[in-house]
Amino acid sequence: MNPTTLTLKELAHAYRNKTLSPVEVTETYLQKLEVGSTYLKLLSNRALARAKYAEQLFNQGIDSSLLQGIPIALKDLLDTKGDITTSGSKVLAERKAAREDANLVQMLDKAGAVFLGKTNMTELAFSGIGMNPHYGTPGCALDKTRIPGGSSSGSAVAVAEGLACAAIGSDTGGSVRIPASFNGLVGLKTTNGQISTEGCVPLSTTLDTLGPIAKTVEDAWILYSAMTQKPFEKLEPPSHKLNFLIPTTLVFNEIDEEVATAFEDTCKRLEKQGHQLTRKAVPEFQIIFDLYAQYGSFASHESLALYEDMLEGRGDEVDPRVGKRILMLKGRLSTDYLKLVYTQKRLIKQFWQTYKRYDAILCPTVPILPPTIKALEDDVAYFKTNNLVLRNTSLFNFLAGPSLSVPCRTTNEDLSVGLMISAQPNREKWVLELASSIQNS
């Protein structure tokens, strides 16, 4: 049995029936790992120590959680004690080592997780593409010539290539869901503010969230349960016929034919099962983009406040595409930012009240298949593609609720198409239950 091919659930079961042990599994994973474009740092000593501890607990009959002894990867914007957190940046790589684990890392450590290493990412998490000029770009696991999606590029590629059982990513505009979609994985953007980001390198203090990237919906649920310190409960399929909203505003613009076909086939399958799919315009989506056009985005405003001094002093050492997006709001009035803040609060409340009759909102995670890395060497193509891959996902960062990408089709070129399922804040379990039902239908 090759343990690196197992799902989190399968591995947890193997530990409990004594067919595998945390130490041998961790050693198997570590033998496959090296520092490069996927992992920026390996935590081998810590991983083996925690694997031995997990094994001791099992031998003593102590079972702390389903995450006990499970090898996972951490995006390198989460602090781990004694290590420098780079956030994909050469400048931040010169910082002092973290004095303690990030809040979430502490929680997962208590749950028994084994941390294999810190994964690569777009610098400062500011792109949906996943390219990094400093540390290299990990190609998409399904086609190494193509982009992996960002900004949690290394986390997704690690899981898809059997270099981690699951991983933690961050999602400010789609950075968990986009690479999950491109790499054939499940990625959950959690409700804004639900999981502490203390000890994480920030991009947008308003929109930053942390979420799981996993091989299956159930794996994502197991990891999410540990992230929120909630008792694990089984996912239950919906007991009634569902009413899904299919927005016709923006989300299908410039869509690849294969993505459109995959989405429509999924919709037909749901209708055959008796579910109702309502297609209608959602003007709030256009309002969100109009707000960003008028006032600037949260990520641009807040990253400028965080990194303006760094860019002024050492901007030539920062990815120029990231630096350009941060500096684009330089000189804007603070009232623009405040108007954006106040409007978002009103719009979130209004939106979920308006569409409360729907069980969830469905649309393609990303409207296009991942282009080649070479095709995005040109800045014009890069920025156009970045806007396009972030378009659908970023809507639900603004709207604050959980949003999940689940694979719905493999194309003739063996690429993955993601279906995005979104709901009102704090309904993660519901979104995962819907995804599980759709995935298994």
Give the CA angle between residues 31, 35, 41 to the nearest 5°: 100
**CA distances, 135 to each of 36, 77, 129, 138, 403 (Å):** 7, 14, 15, 9, 29
Tokens of 187: 């990625």
For residues 24 and 54, is the Cβ–Cβ distance under 8 A?
no
Query: DSSP readout, 345-377?
Result: HHHHHHHHHHTTTSSEEEEESSSSPPPBTGGGS
Tokens of 164: 């981690």
For residues 147 and 105, is the Cβ–Cβ distance under 8 A?
no
For residues 247 and 285, is the Cβ–Cβ distance under 8 A?
yes
CA atoms of 241 and 277, how far apart (whole Å): 11
65 an active-site residue?
Answer: no
Q: Kindly report the length of the chain.
A: 441
CA atoms of 403 and 189, how far apart (whole Å): 5
**How many CA atoms within 13 Å lie on the side-chain side of 212?**
26
Tokens of 61: 């009959």
What is the residue type of 77? L
DSSP 8-state class, residue 8:
H
Single out the catalytic residue among 75, 118, 189, 215: 75
Other C-beta atoms lying within 10 Å of the C-beta of residue 52: 16
96 an active-site residue?
Answer: no
Single out the catalytic residue among 87, 170, 175, 225: 175
The residue assigned the tokens 């790499």 is: 183
CA atoms of 300 and 394, how far apart (whole Å): 13
CA dihedral (57, 58, 62, 64) positive or negative = positive
Give the CA angle between residues 204, 206, 208 to the nearest 5°: 55
Single out the catalytic residue among 89, 151, 394, 436: 151
175 an active-site residue?
Answer: yes
Q: Characterize 347-380 residue by residue with b for buried, 16 or more Cβ atoms within 10 angstroms of its Cβ, and e for exposed.
A: bbeebeeebeebbbbbbbbbbbbbbebeebeeee
For residues 116 and 73, is the Cβ–Cβ distance under 8 A?
yes
Q: Which residues are catalytic?
A: 75, 151, 175
